[in-house]
Structure 1
């Protein structure tokens, strides 16, 4: 959500920021609506003040025996009783309309975010690791996986497209990856482990920005709750409508959860394999902090996600997203893209975003700076640390052997019960 006061103070800067997002100028229309709302609010306040004054004056006039003045004042009060509710209703309607407009607009990118239209305009910041040199032609995970327990057919039979059934050693590898990530993010990287609700109310998905604009990408239950598309929703809303103790900041939280996405906005993409599923698991990282800390916390979160890839010895690159490829709530985003030898391409495995006060304003999440009597909005950040399914894909492809087996990464062996490799099952 945007701050209407900032738009009033500098409408040109607001429109310039939206232009970088390929959004038409909005400041003039927003300020006209704001002016209309404020005018109605002023009339309502003046009317209420006059009603209070007239009510007091009635008693005084009657005490003086001035019945004519008292009757006139009574008539005025009666008239105000009829008109004030209409003004209050109009003000409320205009406030809702203004908030709806503001809620539908994306966050403003920070200055160092590169201009661009899509992923082709993202900027590579760094690379880590060297893609393996294979004595054979490496296969894609969708070709390796079925013999190892990645059962696409059963998943589709039970639930339809974009669902997968994991069996035996493949299920063990998936569980090991998830536990390894969660243990690393808590014990090594200092994030507090949380176990969070998977079903949330409208206010929660509104707070993190999925509603109202991206409802089609979510699943909703029969009682009106939403299935979380990521633990970001539950973790970030921990501070919804709270004034967080300054001493508790920064809050660094993590959770391993199933995630549910209808993928309505990604129809036709990655339909083959395990990369884009309606249901998947992810270790999410969320940080809530003071404004002056958010840039450093962003770097810390990126490093936390990178630590998983480095421990698993998976080659990857770090990319700064351009204005046209960032999520709507982000003001700056780094993607980590892991190397997939079967595809001969780097593919996204983590996206880590700094949202500034954008989500906090929607959630009314604040803190009181030391020595200040006034509250300020917090900054929120989120990212994957990592997506479990996509990491499994990366392990299958990078550790594949010519005979169809897959070696277990050294860092993962303590979580695999001594299993050294996955072997094709007869």
Structure 2
């Protein structure tokens, strides 16, 4: 679960790739956008009723146009009924609505709310990404209206109808431009909303990945240290089982205590995983538990001298936990990989940083110790997450040294420097 000896300081692990960039939802880009949506019955029925009733009032106000016959009602009904499929087939709907409206006007029926159906169909097509279809249909409707009003009016009903003024065509052109502009504005805004939702989803995924990585690191550090102690004591117990049963019993007791503590810490981590947001049932370990760590190392046959320099200050929880885990992992590496049975731990409180140094006299055993080889990498990740650094490598005088520097918030560190030693 830890890393073999390295020569000189190492760098951090490559950044883990986050989830791939997602584009806007499918409904923005094509005819597939309405596949999972129900038909808009309510809005279509309301629009149909409005167009039918409004056209009746428009017919009374335009006595020079043809009266609303059954054909006119059917054309109006068809022009609004196709809007039921405007989300599933926006291009076909806007073309059909524009064509039916042009037939309605060519038959000489009164102007009125029929243009509202064209506006709704055009809006739906532009928002769905069928911009060319929407522009083409509305442009064809306007060109057809020009043809009806200025060249074909003599052969079409109503009888005796004259050429329409060109000023009215300007009004129609402005109406067409306004519809397209509003539709484009809504389309762009909906794409922005979709991208914002996708970015929020990516950010949530990144936070989840970071939390899983943090939990995996916690589990690694807990299990690596405890299993190392258990492994050493199991070897001692097996070696002394026949020659010194009492010492073998002591080794088994140490195994029991180490496994119990490991289970407790693993349970705490898993409780946090199962109930995110709830306060942990037990406080996270910190440097105040350094004596327990020294005692556990002693049970594995490692003598640890601890020196504290500087006035101890209250550390932020994240720094306190990282400091404990770094010392724990460094001592685990000594137990697993070093031929030395003596280690030294220095805890240095400075004004703006906490320095941790773990030395052993070496040499490296060179034996296969098992594990994942991620011990030093995990320490570097912990330090880097807090803006700190880790250096690990052989010492000039022999042995191996791990040095960690963790920055402290302003006002947290201690300026004075005193010394305190605790040996075991």
TM-score, with length taken from structure 2:
0.24
Higher strand share: 1
Q: Answer 1 or 2: higher relative contact order, Cα 8 Å, separation at least 6.
A: 1
Higher helix share: 2
